């Protein structure tokens, strides 16, 4: 499946600012309320206030009566750029250790277990410029959760017995990133910039960098780093809850207010990251994944203080635009590229940043990379000469304004992480709107910026397999090479650039201007029965009826669409060819507040979401492209290359994902086909094969459609009829029977990883068990037991970085999956440790009281009954039943009612029968990590019945 994901360049956008009316009320505050009010959208009815506590910590309070969970975060403007040279990775290590027990809450797992009982979760992240901690939890226990976090920040115990274990965890995490090209690129970059800049250090840390040295003891450095930088006066915090601002103020002082103020000043980074010595370079790197990418990176100054100009966003918009005859359009039509994705981070190095033009290459584009580079420089010159226009800026400004005004209300912990980051970067008044405000076109800044985009100032990256290299990046093991951009090469680019003549982008015709709300019948009755001839379903939004947005999904279901491997591949190739044909429409729709995607639903599924004004025509445009797009030798060759690369990419998944793939594949019906088989068939498919497949799909399918939101039932039905008219009426669709687990047996599947990590996933499924009940019980058990498993095998035994218990599906039945990814231990040893701890978890489960179980159940019920945060999320709650042709749309309600009746004994019986006594289906999916010649091969599991692959196991289940 090829998702036509919109290249939305403006993740955030701005509108007219209004102030919440509650700000007009003057209250007597015990703490300093910062005078600058937070700019918020006129549609945002939450109350915001920034206060300064007595310890000089700035805290953003958000009072939201509609909040179904409470959120908290703390961030400080110190990250890996402040690591001492002798303890590289210390900021990351400190972030880990802070959460390993505090003076008031000494047990490392206490916060995790508390949150799991109260529909909660937490995380922490470290970047070069900051460290952040954030959580979400039930409203009623926000005070306790804040106390946990505040005490961890203020008084971590840094117990040495956990310190060395967590040091191993940090090293395991970085080992895992050997298969991540993002981290590999970051490490190569650090080795090719000014070595005196702190970004040149190894930011993540490992067992070598985080260790005792003659002049540096790790435990001492850990304590000193915390003492030096973890001070309230440089921190920011966020508290988001359904309580009043006054109550949140009191809560902030009693928790965050206890963090000591050490009156520190964060020292500025003064050394330049990239000087002329490090520009004018070609950097070649071999990726971990089979990707082909060209990236032109240009150093820029840190211009965060000029955020309201949107200089970088202006250039991103023009460079990435897919209008007719633009850079992206021409290179794509010539078969040289898949896409251009332009990004910018002006604080990447702390005191400076980088502007990046990233190009995903085709095979031909890789062979002609110099032609692609020449085209980019040609287009940049056109922008410099003719591209600075009030018309483009006004369009960008309008898009930002609409995006800010109609921004989805986010109420999960990622929101407070984002708010913390915003507080560290921008003035109080712009915490919400900094990414959206566009005040004036700074022509001089744009011209100055683009004039710096020259070969002499560039770092041109080529990331592709089978390149010549002469270096290997430290620890991440990425092969690379650095060459100078020679005068001869620059002359070549100049000559090749003469072959191109580009046009600047056309203005976007799809930016909405009609935001009227359609009157709808709230008591509309939906069809409860499935029809083999098709169904039309329309819902009025229960939560976003005042938003001028809608979601539409149209499915062309066809029992022949995926009958064998050849038809499955033909769909993928056709879908890819159509996605290239629709590139301009995707880009324009994305920047006008709409998203378009295609996928599978027993055939083709088209989804369009966002501002409703143009959605029906978008759906019809996609369908027309499927019918009319030209399938020629070039487009088919590109599609095959893309598909084969995607198959190769699956071979390079990180080990834990590789282990999961065989289990997930069992649910792919009517049959799962192995990658090797698909590779062979792909090479034999012809133009006529794809055309014949298209003819069948676009004429012999049955239309099903669901819509939600600000579109009338009549208009929705008109769209359905327009689709229906293009299809033959004498065909029917019959849903496939679901796969069922009827007999007990064991299975073992073994794969070899491309990375050094091994992994073991043990999954246990009950037989002849009610599928809905298995979902409820399995999810509840995973929620209860995952912290225990993590605490024992990750925190105490340090078996790996990725450790957890997850509910796994086969069809509609759910079992429990126990997973670890490790760079130190064999799958055989992992299984021993799993089996040793299984009885202990049964004892812990048995020791829970009925009140404990009810608390866990209530936590899950509260989570499942929370209102959706967006129209898209409301739609997602309908789509699973839609795909299963269950048009009563009551599966969620049934699960909640069933959960209310689940008892402690139900949980014990399920766990005991499936995991302890193994009376159901047991699947051991193991991945053996790659080793050097002199290293010992990891010991694999030999228990259980061996199956060659997922398709052979699926055949057994389908008998």
Residue 846 lies in a domain: yes
Residue 878 lies in a domain: yes
Residues 765 and 695 both lie in one domain: no
Q: How far apart, in whole angstroms, are the C-alpha atoms of residue 113 and residue 770?
A: 29
- Share above pLDDT 70 across residues of the chain, in percent, rounded to a whole number: 96
List, as one string, the DSSP characters of 668-736.
-SS----HHHHHHHHTT--HHHHHHHHHHHHHS-EEEEEEEESS-HHHHHHHHHHHHTTS-SS----PP
Distance CA 245, CA 818 (A): 43
Tokens (6 digits) for 419: 């708010």
User: In this structure, are 486 and 581 located in the same domain?
Assistant: no
Average pLDDT of the chain? 94
* Model confidence band, residue 263 (pLDDT cutoffs 50, 70, 90): very high
Secondary structure letter of residue 102 according to DSSP? B
Query: Pick from 258, 273, 308: which residue ends a domain?
Result: 258
Instruction: Give dist(CA 686, CA 671) in Å, integer.
Output: 23
Whole-number Å distance between alpha carbons of 346 and 352: 6
CA dihedral 752, 755, 757, 760 (to 10 degrees): -30
What pLDDT band is residue 11 in, cutting at 50, 70 and 90? very low
Same structural domain, 717 and 757: no
DSSP state, residue 18: B
Under 8 Å between Cβ of 551 and 289: no
Q: Which stretch of DSSP H or E encloses residue 395? A: helix 390-405
Same domain? For 682 and 778 the reply is no
| Residue 808 · residue 914 · CB < 8 Å | no
Best CA proximity match to 245, nearest among 58, 54, 63:
63
Q: Verify that 810 and 883 share a domain, yes or no.
A: yes
CA distance 146 to 70: 10
**Is residue 661 in a domain?**
no
Paired strand residues for 73: 134, 238
pLDDT surpasses 50 at 151: yes
Q: How far is CA 63 from CA 68, 248, 822, in A?
A: 12, 8, 43
With H, G, I as helix, E, B as strand and everything else as coil, classify residue 243.
Answer: coil
* Cα separation, 266 vs 79, whole angstroms: 11
List the single range of 319-328, 447-456, 924-933 with lowest mean pLDDT.
924-933
Q: How much is the average pLDDT of 286-301? A: 97
Same domain, 812 and 701: no
User: Is the same domain home to 91 and 197?
Assistant: yes
Res 526: pLDDT: 67
Q: What mean pLDDT comes out for the span 445-471?
A: 98
Mean pLDDT of 174-181: 94
Angle at Cα 343 formed by Cα 342 and Cα 347, nearest 5°?
155
Count of CB atoms within 10 A of residue 367's CB? 11
- Residue 24 pLDDT > 60: no
| Residue pair 611/594 in contact by the 8 Å Cβ criterion | yes
The 10s digit of each residue's pLDDT in 465-474 is: 999 999 999 9
Residue 54 Cα to chain centre, angstroms: 38
**Domain for residue 465, yes or no?**
yes
Asked whether the predicted pLDDT for residue 856 surpasses 90, the reply is: yes
Residue 324, both tokens: 């007719």
Q: Is the dihedral of CA 375, 380, 386, 391 positive or negative?
A: positive
697 and 804: one domain? no
CA distance 151 to 804: 26
pLDDT one-digit tens code per residue, 903-919: 999 999 999 999 999 99
How do residues 359-380 score in pLDDT, each as one tens digit? 999 999 999 999 999 999 999 9
Beta-bridge partners for 808: 815
Judge whether residue 23 has pLDDT over 60: no
- In the chain, helix, strand, coil percent, each to 5? 45, 20, 40
Using alpha carbons, select from 847, 787, 786, 791 the residue that is nearest to residue 817.
786
Strand intervals (E) in 523-563: 535-539, 549-557
Distance between CA atoms of 242 and 248, rounded to whole angstroms? Answer: 9
Continuous segment of H or E residues that includes residue 135: strand 131-138
Secondary structure of 28-52 in the HEC alphabet?
Answer: CCCCEECCCCCCECCCCCCEEEEEE
Tell me which residues are annotated as active site. Answer: 95
Angle at 411 between CA 409 and CA 413, to 5 degrees: 135
Residue 528 lies in a domain: no
The predicted pLDDT at position 586 comes to 96
Q: Could you tell me the strand order of the sheet in which 603-611 lies? A: 535-539, 702-709, 549-557, 603-611, 594-600
CATH of the domain at 150: 3.30.830.10
Provide the pLDDT confidence category of residue 202 given band limits of 50, 70 and 90.
very high
Asked if residues 172 and 800 have their Cβ atoms less than 8 Å apart, the reply is: yes
Q: Which helix (H) or strand (E) holds 327?
A: helix 327-333
pLDDT at 28 over 60: no
pLDDT at 5: 32
What is the average pLDDT across 549-564?
A: 98
H-helix or E-strand spanning residue 609: strand 603-611
Sheet containing strand 281-285, strands side by side: 337-345, 352-361, 293-301, 459-463, 281-285, 479-484, 471-472
In a domain, 914, yes or no: yes
CA distances 787 to 204, 373, 790, Å, are: 25, 50, 5
Q: What is the pLDDT of residue 411?
A: 86
Please report which confidence band the pLDDT of residue 277 belongs to, taking 50, 70 and 90 as the band edges: very high
At 933, is the pLDDT very low, low, confident or very high (cuts 50, 70, 90)? confident
| 524 and 673 Cβ atoms separated by less than 8 Å | no
Predicted pLDDT of residue 520: 79
Tokens for 668? 């792919």
**pLDDT confidence tier of residue 19, bands split at 50, 70 and 90:** very low
Q: At what angle do helices 583-591 and 565-581 cross, to 10 degrees?
A: 60
φ/ψ (deg, to 5) at 363: -60, -45
Q: What is the DSSP string of 69-93?
A: EEEEEEEES--GGG--GGGTTHHHH
> What CA dihedral angle connects 156, 161, 164 and 166, to 10 degrees?
-50
The pLDDT of residue 523: 59
Domain end marker among 198, 223, 258:
258
Q: What angle do CA 539, 610, 14 make, to 5 degrees?
A: 135
Residue 642 structural domain: 535-654+669-726
> Which H or E run contains 298?
strand 293-301
Tell me how far CA of residue 876 lies from CA of 68, 272, 526, 869, in angstroms. 18, 47, 17, 11
Q: Are residues 87 and 169 in the same domain?
A: yes
Residue among 459, 478, 474 nearest 286 (CA): 478
Cα gap 133→153, rounded to integer Å: 9
Give the pLDDT score at 927.
97
In angstroms, the first-to-last Cα distance of the chain is: 27
Q: How far is CA 567 from CA 209, 234, 358, 408, in A?
A: 52, 59, 33, 39
Q: Give the pLDDT band of residue 188 (cuts 50, 70, 90).
A: very high
User: Among candidates 563, 196, 539, 136, which has minimal Cα distance to 349?
Assistant: 196
- Give the contacts of 698 (CB within 8 A, at least 6 positions apart): 556, 623, 626, 627, 726, 727
430 lies in some domain: no
Task: Please tell me whether residues 179 and 303 are part of one structural domain.
Answer: no
Number of domains in the chain: 4
Same domain, 359 and 216: no
Report the distance separating Cα 56 and Cα 669, nearest Å: 59
Residue 291, SS3 per DSSP: coil
Residues 229 and 89 in one domain: yes
| Whole-angstrom distance, CA of residue 125 vs CA of residue 122 | 11
Helix, coil or strand: residue 170: helix
Residue 525 pLDDT: 59
Vertex 305: Cα angle to 300 and 307 (nearest 5): 80
Count Cβ atoms below 10 Å from residue 736 Cβ, excluding itself: 11
405 in a structural domain: no
The yes-or-no verdict on residue 161 having pLDDT over 70 is yes
């Amino acid at each position: 499946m090829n998702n036509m994901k919109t290249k939305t360049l403006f993740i955030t956008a701005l509108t007219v600012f209004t102030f919440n009316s509650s700000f007009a009320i003057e209250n007597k505050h015990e703490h300093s309320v910062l005078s600058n009010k937070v700019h918020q959208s006129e549609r945002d009815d939450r109350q915001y206030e920034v206060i300064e506590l007595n310890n000089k910590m700035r805290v953003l309070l958000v009072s939201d009566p509609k909040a179904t969970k409470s959120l908290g975060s703390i961030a400080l403007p110190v990250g890996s750029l402040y690591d001492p040279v002798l303890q590289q990775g210390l900021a990351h290590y400190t972030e880990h250790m802070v959460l390993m027990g505090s003076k008031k809450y000494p047990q490392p797992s206490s916060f995790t277990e508390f949150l799991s009982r109260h529909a909660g979760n937490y995380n922490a992240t470290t970047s070069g410029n900051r460290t952040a901690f954030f959580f979400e939890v039930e409203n009623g226990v926000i005070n306790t959760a804040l106390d946990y976090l505040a005490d961890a920040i203020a008084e971590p115990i840094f117990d040495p017995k956990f310190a060395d274990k967590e040091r191993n965890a940090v090293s395991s995490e970085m080992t895992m990133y050997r298969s991540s090209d993002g981290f590999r690129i970051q490490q190569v970059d650090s080795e090719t910039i000014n070595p005196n800049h702190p970004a040149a250090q190894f930011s993540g840390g490992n067992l070598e960098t985080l260790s005792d040295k003659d002049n540096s003891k790790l435990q001492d450095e850990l304590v000193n780093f915390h003492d030096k930088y973890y001070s309230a006066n440089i921190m920011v915090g966020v508290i988001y809850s359904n309580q009043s601002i006054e109550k949140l103020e009191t809560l902030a002082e009693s928790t965050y207010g206890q963090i000591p103020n050490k009156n520190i000043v964060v020292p500025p980074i003064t050394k330049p990251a990239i000087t002329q010595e490090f520009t004018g370079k070609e950097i070649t790197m071999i990726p971990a994944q089979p990707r082909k990418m060209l990236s032109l990176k240009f150093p820029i100054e840190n211009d965060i203080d000029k955020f309201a100009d949107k200089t970088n966003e202006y250039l991103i918009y023009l460079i990435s635009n897919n209008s007719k005859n633009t850079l992206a359009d021409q290179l794509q039509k010539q078969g040289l590229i898949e896409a251009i994705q332009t990004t910018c981070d002006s604080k990447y190095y702390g005191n400076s940043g980088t502007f990046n033009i990233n190009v995903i290459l085709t095979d031909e584009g890789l062979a002609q990379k110099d032609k692609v580079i020449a085209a980019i420089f040609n287009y940049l010159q056109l922008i410099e000469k003719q591209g600075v226009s009030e018309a483009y800026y006004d369009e960008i400004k309008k898009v930002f304004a609409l995006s800010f005004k109609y921004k989805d209300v986010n109420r999960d912990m990622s929101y407070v992480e984002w708010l913390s980051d915003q507080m560290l970067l921008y003035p109080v008044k712009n915490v919400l709107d900094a990414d959206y405000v566009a005040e004036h076109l700074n022509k001089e800044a744009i011209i100055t910026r683009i004039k710096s985009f020259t070969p002499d100032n560039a770092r041109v990256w080529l990331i592709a397999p089978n390149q010549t290299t002469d270096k290997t990046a430290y620890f991440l093991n990425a092969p690379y090479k650095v060459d100078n951009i020679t005068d001869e090469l620059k002359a070549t680019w100049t000559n090749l650039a003469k072959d191109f003549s580009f046009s600047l982008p056309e203005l976007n015709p799809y930016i909405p201007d009609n935001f009227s709300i359609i009157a709808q019948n709230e008591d509309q009755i939906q069809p409860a029965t499935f029809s083999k001839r098709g169904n039309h379903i329309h819902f009025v939004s229960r939560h976003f009826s005042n938003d001028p947005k809608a979601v539409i999904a149209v499915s062309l279901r066809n029992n022949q669409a995926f009958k064998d491997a050849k038809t499955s591949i033909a769909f993928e190739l056709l879908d890819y060819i159509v996605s290239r044909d629709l590139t301009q429409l995707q880009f324009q729709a994305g920047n006008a507040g709409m998203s378009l995607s295609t996928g599978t639903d027993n055939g083709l599924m088209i989804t369009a979401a966002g501002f409703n004004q143009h959605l029906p025509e978008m759906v019809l445009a996609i369908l027309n492209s499927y019918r009319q797009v030209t399938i020629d030798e070039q487009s088919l060759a590109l599609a095959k290359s893309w598909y084969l690369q995607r198959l190769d990419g699956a071979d390079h998944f990180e080990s834990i994902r590789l282990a999961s793939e065989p289990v997930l594949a069992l649910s792919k019906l009517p049959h799962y086909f192995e990658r090797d088989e698909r590779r062979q068939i792909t090479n034999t498919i012809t133009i006529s094969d794809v055309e014949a497949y298209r003819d069948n799909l676009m004429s012999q399918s049955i239309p099903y459609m669901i819509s939600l939101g600000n579109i009338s039932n009549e208009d929705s039905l008109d769209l359905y009829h327009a689709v229906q008219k293009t299809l033959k009426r004498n065909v029917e669709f019959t849903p496939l029977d679901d796969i069922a687990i009827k007999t007990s047996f064991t299975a073992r599947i073994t794969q070899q990883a491309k990375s050094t990590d091994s992994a073991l996933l043990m999954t246990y499924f009950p037989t002849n068990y009610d599928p809905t009940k298995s979902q409820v019980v399995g999810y509840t058990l995973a929620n209860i037991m995952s912290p225990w498993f993590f605490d024992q095998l990750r925190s105490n035994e340090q078996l790996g970085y990725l450790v957890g218990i997850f509910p796994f599906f086969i069809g509609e039945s759910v079992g429990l999956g126990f997973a670890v990814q490790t760079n130190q231990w064999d799958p055989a040893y992992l299984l021993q440790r799993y089996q040793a701890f299984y009885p202990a978890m049964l004892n812990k489960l048995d020791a829970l009281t009925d009140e404990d179980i009810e608390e866990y159940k209530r936590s899950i019920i509260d989570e499942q009954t929370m209102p959706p945060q967006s129209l898209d999320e409301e739609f997602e709650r309908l789509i699973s039943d839609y795909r299963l042709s269950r048009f009563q749309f009551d599966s969620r309600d049934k699960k909640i009612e069933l959960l209310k009746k689940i008892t402690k004994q139900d949980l014990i019986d399920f766990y005991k029968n499936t995991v302890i006594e193994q009376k159901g289906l047991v699947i051991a999916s193991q991945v053996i990590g790659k080793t050097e010649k002199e290293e010992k091969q990891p010991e694999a599991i030999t228990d259980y019945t061996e199956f060659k692959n997922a398709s052979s196991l699926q055949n057994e289940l389908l008998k």
